[in-house]
Structure 1
Amino acid sequence: MDNQEVYRQSGDQQQHVISVGEWVLYLFLFSLPLINIIMLCIWAFGNEPNPTKSNFGKAGLIWIAIGIVIYLILMFTVFSFFSTAFNEMNQMQTM
């Protein structure tokens, strides 16, 4: 049986089951910068008939947002630490 023709029944709708080959392609595309965000946005907010892709797109965007927030907090913390350290070094040199 060809994976391209396999469908799963869900209520009245037939949904295409995503094959392993398709997932390998999608994971490759998600490893490319900016293309991953574009693909996730298309899946999450586009007219994607497959709810699995839509949910994956939404979940991926949530994880990207969490990563950006953690990155910003980390960068702010590091910047504050070095800013304080340089200010203290300047104060010690002026004495």
Structure 2
Amino acid sequence: MEQQNTPQTQTMSVTDWLINLVLVAIPLVGIVLLFVWAFGNDGNLTRKNWAKANLLLAAIMLGFTLLIILPIFGLAIFGIASQQ
């Protein structure tokens, strides 16, 4: 049985991937596009999964960054406040 080549299951070309990477690199536009591609009703399944993975990775990195940066700022503020 042959699988149908629908827009949702069609293989993305190298050009498609390059366009996706350039669009995601644009500040704010990239975040909006990731959400649209990840949670939209239609579109390529490969791009949908890629967008979900990018959003998950961004959330993990944000969590790690906050976990490291907030205590440093807290200690810095506490040190400045205790010197006065």
Shorter-chain TM-score tier: 0.7 to 0.9
Partner residue, 1:54: 48
Percent identity over the alignment is 31
Larger strand fraction of residues: 1
One-letter amino acid of the counterpart of residue 85, structure 1: G
Greater relative contact order (CA < 8 Å, ≥ 6 in sequence)? 2
Larger Rg: 1
Question: Any idea what the Cα deviations from partners look like across 1:25-73, whole Å, max 9, x if unmatched?
Answer: 1101111111111111111110234211111111111011112212222
Distance 1:69 1:36 in 2: 19
- Unmatched 5+ stretches in structure 1: 1-8, 91-95
1:1-95 counterparts in 2 under 5 A?
12-14=3-5, 15-90=9-84
One-letter amino acid of the counterpart of residue 25, structure 1: I
TM-score, normalised via structure 2 length = 0.80
Q: How many residues align?
A: 81
Q: Return structure 1 stretches of 4+ with deviation > 6 angstroms.
A: none
3-state SS of the aligned residue for 1:26?
Answer: helix
Deviation at 1:24, TM superposition (A): 0.8
Question: What is the root-mean-square deviation in Å for CA atoms of aligned residues?
Answer: 2.0
- Unmatched 5+ stretches in structure 2: none
